[in-house]
Amino acid sequence: MNRVTIDLQKLRHNIKILKGWMEEHEATWTVVTKVLCGHTDTLRALQLLGIRSMGDSRLANLQAIDKIIPDFESWYLRVADMSSVRNVVGLADVSLNSEIEVINSLNEQARKLNKTHRIIIMIELGDLREGILPGSLIKFYEQVFELSNIEVIGIGANLGCLAGAVPNIDQFTQLALYRELLELKFKRKL
């Protein structure tokens, strides 16, 4: 039977190192908790180690985290679909998105709850998993930019997730250039 062994001393050390790197570059980070499957003791340990942002691709795991640690930033790490909109807005502060219809529904649900839902717009850069085509980025962003209860906080891409292609510097450069393009055109920091 498979099992995960967690060494709290090593975890504490790794978190300290990562936190230092992030602070040095004035960046923030999110711990992906998928492998934990909502394990109470480990989630509490992460909280005690100073983790304030957690991401998961399963809504049930986000719900478990919310019960244990109500004061945290949550990320839904799967592109939302129409059937999950209500739960995504209710459980996640941030979600990954690439379909305008879903984003419109997220906006409507967030409006009903009187909150702002933050999103990352996913762009297809070669992994063939999900994301809008780069040529559609400006028009897509213009549509999302007009929504009252949606805030675009960044763009993202899946690299090396599905197709087995090894990510390369060109893809990361493309992503950075698309961010610069959006920031210049719309005068908003991502």
Q: CATH code at 119?
A: 3.20.20.10
Whether 172 and 121 map to the same domain: the answer is: yes
Taking a C-beta distance cutoff of 8 angstroms, is the pair 43, 68 a contact? yes
Predicted confidence band of residue 128 (pLDDT cuts 50, 70, 90): low
HSE of 83, CA atoms in CB hemisphere, 13 A: 1
Domain of residue 182, residue span: 96-190
d(CA 39, CA 22): 26
- pLDDT score recorded for residue 8: 86
Mean pLDDT value across the chain: 89
- Same domain, residue pair 29 and 63: yes
Number of domains in the chain: 2
Q: Do 112 and 175 belong together in one domain?
A: yes
Residues 104 and 185 in one domain: yes
State how far the Cα of 75 lies from the Cα of 119, in Å rounded to an integer: 9
117 and 63 share one domain: no
**Residue that finishes a domain, picked among 17, 43, 77:** 77
**Residue 54 confidence (pLDDT) above 90:** yes
| Same domain (yes/no): 114, 187 | yes
55 and 123 housed in the same domain: no
Q: Are 150 and 117 in contact (CB under 8 A)?
A: yes
pTM to 2 decimal places: 0.86
Q: Which two tokens stand for residue 110?
A: 């967030």
Domain annotation covers residue 84: no
Spatial strand order of the sheet with 53-56 comes to 31-32, 53-56, 73-76, 94-97, 117-122, 150-156
Q: What is the pLDDT of residue 111?
A: 97
Q: Residue 105's pLDDT is what?
A: 97
Angle at 29 between CA 28 and CA 31, to 5 degrees: 160
Considering the domain architecture, whether residues 100 and 185 belong to the same structural domain is answered as: yes
Confirm whether 19 is domain-assigned.
Answer: yes
72 touches 92 (CB < 8 A): no
Q: Are residues 23 and 100 in the same domain?
A: no
Note whether 133 and 165 are same-domain residues.
yes
55 belongs to a structural domain: yes
